[in-house]
């Protein structure tokens, strides 16, 4: 199956119609085309005009108006991002970029890779949205800069950062006995500053799974987050940087088979880094040492004594990254990454080293911008991988730019895939991909829009397969193997514009994602997703309305989950310059929303928060 030409034509015509908006938008006297600085594309600061990949961002002010209960709530509002939930805010969540697997998304916190090396996934439900300053989402492969996992893209989360003597304190109460308390303060120390932030959340929850007769209790959660982030300027060129985040909590879930298995988990995750940075006229250089830990203790809550099962992943990392401006139009980025991954458990191999080196060259010739990146990764006991990205952009005029990129990426097999006792396959290869992307951008006054057509072919996908051998009981032995392929094509549209004193954001993603071995649609995917947000500021009031549409989602075996519509409202009132009240209503029409079979979303929810900001 390919992308239907009629749908592409319709989408492109929609983008071209946006050129009529500046005339109407001028009445609002607002501009949203200020230059956005991002770092995920090259690891160094770049403006949006210097980037050759699609990068969407969410800032702290947007997060506060959205008032999310999870990081997934924030990500779901962004184009090309699809979220599948096992229930509400405290439950497991998988995040997909442009139709790829959730394990094909590299997730980074303050420059440090996080996630489990045993499962190959990230526990988004353990992260607190209250401790986030900014999120950048890069679309398409970026293994040529970041290494393994970046097949679908990169999500980078930046923790809270306040100026000296700034601070805030907030409290919130809402549906399902939800309770939150948060505080943060910026501290000065000589020629530097640090930000300290703490957050506590808890909820009694609700019964997330329908059909488990032995699991009809509410599934609540609590989470505590602590973060510290700072910098110290040694002189005009040298800085010392540090950040750390600790997340600890408890989640209740359902044993969906009623087998008496675990239905509660305690987790304690952390990520930290320390480093130094040099900024000269032509050369910038960063050297960082970091560690991330993913730890879970699973057990059944009604068993005494409790039988626990522990899972732990630790990742030590050292990175040295450099950027050199050779001439006004020519720059070179290069770096080396080393990581050691270690897991807890009775694995045949419980740790491995990964060494990677990359170089990226960018050149500007008036209207033409070009970029080439190449990276080599050597993974212990697995074949090495060489990946690349080649990109070109041409500025047609002051408003229009067209860009094209192609690249490769890979995903290293997890420890469970390779070495799980009794069912691992140490002969596995890395999953690999080749992708193509053409993007048309439009920027003028109060309009910022793009349309992107993309294709991603993924090979060597790991799935369970029969081996032809039999165990002592006559059962055929199945093991993970590189047997599957996927072909993903799609169109992504996004537009931001100001019109009649309102700020509008609209995004639409059309996806044709199929299993190349069977021709079936990939499980968990929808053909269409639409997001629309409307924001308005009037005196001391601000209003944000969000609409999300998800078309029917494929569940396998010719089964589909129903399409759904969700509308959320957030209303804020500034009582004084420092005090603010906010009311947030989720799913105001109380629609039954199921993104994974038999897992219910919480229905209509209402929250009230009060905050004090010291400016």
Tokens 């008032």 correspond to 67
Provide the token pair at 352.
């491995």
Q: Is residue 336 predicted with pLDDT exceeding 60?
A: yes
- Residue 475 host element (H or E): none
User: Is there a contact between 226 and 197 (Cβ–Cβ < 8 Å)?
Assistant: yes
Using one digit for the tens of pLDDT, what is the confidence trace for 136-187? 999 999 999 999 999 999 999 999 989 888 999 999 999 999 999 999 999 9
* Tens-digit pLDDT profile for residues 224-269: 999 999 999 999 999 999 999 999 999 999 888 878 889 999 999 9
247 and 265 Cβ atoms separated by less than 8 Å: no
What are the residues facing 524 on neighbouring strands? none
Phi, psi of 529 (to 5 degrees): -135, 135
Q: What percent of the chain has pLDDT over 70?
A: 94
So what's the pLDDT on residue 396?
96
Mean pLDDT of the chain: 91
Which pLDDT score is estimated for 291? 97
pLDDT number for residue 5:
46
More confident site: 549 or 500 = 549
pTM of the model: 0.93
- Strands across the sheet containing 112-113: 55-59, 132-139, 153-159, 105-109, 112-113
* CATH assignment of the domain containing 588: 2.40.170.20
Task: Report the percentage of the chain scoring pLDDT > 90.
Answer: 76
Number of domains in the chain: 1
Beta strand 541-550 with 564-574: parallel, antiparallel or unpaired? Answer: antiparallel
Distance between CA atoms of residues 170 and 185, nearest Å: 12
- Return the closest-CA partner of residue 594 out of 557, 528, 550: 550
Q: Residue 31: its pLDDT value, please?
A: 47
Number of Cβ within a 10 Å radius of residue 348? 11
SS3 of 65-120: the string is: HHCCCCHHHHHCCCCCEEEEECCCCCCCEEEEECCCCHHHEEEEECCEECCCCCCC
pLDDT of residue 137: 96
- Beta-bridged to residue 573, according to DSSP, are 541, 581
pLDDT tens per residue, range 504-519: 999 999 999 999 988 9
Q: What is the pLDDT of residue 8?
A: 46
Q: Of the ranges 312-321, 472-481, 500-509, which one carries the lowest mean pLDDT score? A: 472-481
**pLDDT exceeds 60 at position 4:** no
What is the domain extent for residue 501?
5-614
| CA 274 to chain CA mean position, Å | 23
pLDDT digits (tens, 9 = 90+) for 319-334: 999 999 999 899 999 9
Output the pLDDT for position 449.
96
pLDDT tens digit sequence for 21-44: 433 333 334 445 456 888 889 999
Give the pLDDT confidence score for residue 20 in this predicted structure.
41
For residue 2, pLDDT over 80 is answered with no
More confident residue, 532 or 346: 532
State mean pLDDT over 309-320: 94
Place of tokens 């522990």: 310
pLDDT of residue 32: 52
pLDDT in tens, 525-570: 999 999 999 999 999 999 999 999 999 999 988 899 999 999 999 9
Neighbours of 422 (CB within 10 A): 8
Q: Cβ distance 495 to 477 under 8 Å? A: no
Query: For position 302, what pLDDT does the model report?
Result: 83
């Amino acid at each position: 199956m390919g992308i239907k030409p009629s749908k592409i034509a319709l989408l492109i015509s929609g983008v071209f119609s946006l050129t009529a908006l500046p005339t109407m938008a001028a009445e609002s006297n607002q501009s949203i085309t200020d230059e956005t600085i991002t770092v995920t594309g090259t690891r160094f600061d770049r403006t949006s005009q210097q980037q050759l990949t699609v990068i969407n961002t969410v800032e702290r002010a947007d997060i506060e108006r959205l008032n999310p209960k999870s990081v997934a709530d924030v990500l779901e509002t962004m184009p090309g991002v699809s979220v599948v939930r096992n229930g509400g805010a405290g439950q497991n969540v998988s995040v997909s970029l442009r139709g790829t697997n959730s394990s094909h998304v590299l997730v980074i916190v303050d420059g440090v890779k996080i996630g489990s090396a045993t499962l190959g996934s990230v526990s988004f439900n353990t992260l607190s949205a209250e401790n986030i300053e900014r999120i950048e989402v890069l679309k398409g492969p970026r293994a040529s800069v970041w290494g393994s996992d970046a097949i679908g893209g990169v999500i980078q989360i930046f923790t809270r950062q306040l100026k000296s003597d700034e601070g805030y304190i907030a409290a919130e109460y809402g549906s399902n006995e939800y309770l939150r308390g948060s505080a943060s303060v910026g501290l000065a120390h000589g020629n530097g500053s640090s930000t300290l932030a703490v957050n506590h959340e808890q909820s009694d929850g609700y019964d997330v799974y329908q059909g488990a007769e032995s699991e009809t209790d509410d599934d609540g959660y609590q989470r505590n987050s602590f973060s510290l982030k700072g910098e110290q300027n040694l002189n005009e060129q040298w800085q010392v940087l540090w950040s750390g985040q600790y997340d600890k909590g408890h989640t209740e879930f359902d044993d969906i088979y009623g087998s008496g298995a675990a239905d509660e988990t305690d987790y304690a995750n952390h990520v930290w880094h320390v480093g130094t940075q040099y900024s000269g006229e032509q050369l910038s250089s960063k050297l960082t040492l970091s560690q991330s830990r993913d730890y879970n203790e699973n057990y059944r809550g009604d068993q005494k004594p409790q039988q626990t099962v522990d899972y732990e992943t630790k990742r030590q990392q050292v990175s040295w990254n450099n950027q050199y401006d050779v001439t006004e139009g020519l720059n070179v980025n290069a770096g080396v990454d080393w990581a050691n991954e270690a897991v807890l458990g009775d694995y045949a191999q419980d740790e491995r080293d990964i060494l990677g080196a990359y170089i990226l060259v960018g050149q500007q010739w008036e209207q033409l911008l070009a970029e080439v990146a190449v990276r080599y990764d050597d993974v212990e006991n697995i074949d090495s991988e060489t990946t690349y990205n080649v990109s070109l952009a041409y500025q047609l005029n002051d408003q229009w730019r067209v860009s094209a990129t192609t690249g490769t990426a890979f995903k290293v097999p997890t420890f469970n895939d390779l070495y799980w006792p009794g069912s691992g396959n140490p002969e596995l290869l890395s999953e690999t991909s080749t992708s193509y992307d053409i993007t048309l951008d439009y920027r003028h006054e109060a309009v910022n829009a793009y349309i992107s057509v993309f294709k991603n072919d993924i090979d060597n996908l790991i799935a369970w397969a029969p081996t032809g051998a039999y165990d002592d009981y006559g059962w055929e032995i199945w093991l993970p193997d590189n047997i599957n392929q996927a072909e993903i094509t799609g169109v992504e549209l996004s537009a931001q514009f100001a019109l009649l004193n309102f700020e509008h954001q609209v995004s639409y993603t059309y996806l044709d994602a199929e299993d190349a071995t069977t021709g079936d649609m990939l499980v968990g995917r929808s053909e269409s997703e639409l997001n629309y947000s409307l924001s308005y500021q009037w005196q001391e009031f601000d209003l944000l309305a969000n609409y999300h549409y998800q078309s029917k989602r494929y569940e396998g075996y010719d089964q589909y989950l129903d399409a759904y519509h969700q509308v959320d409202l957030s209303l804020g009132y500034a009582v004084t310059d420092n005090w603010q009240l906010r009311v947030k209503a989720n799913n105001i029409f109380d629609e039954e929303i199921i993104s994974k079979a038999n897992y219910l979303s919480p229905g209509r929810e209402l929250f009230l928060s009060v905050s004090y900001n010291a400016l």
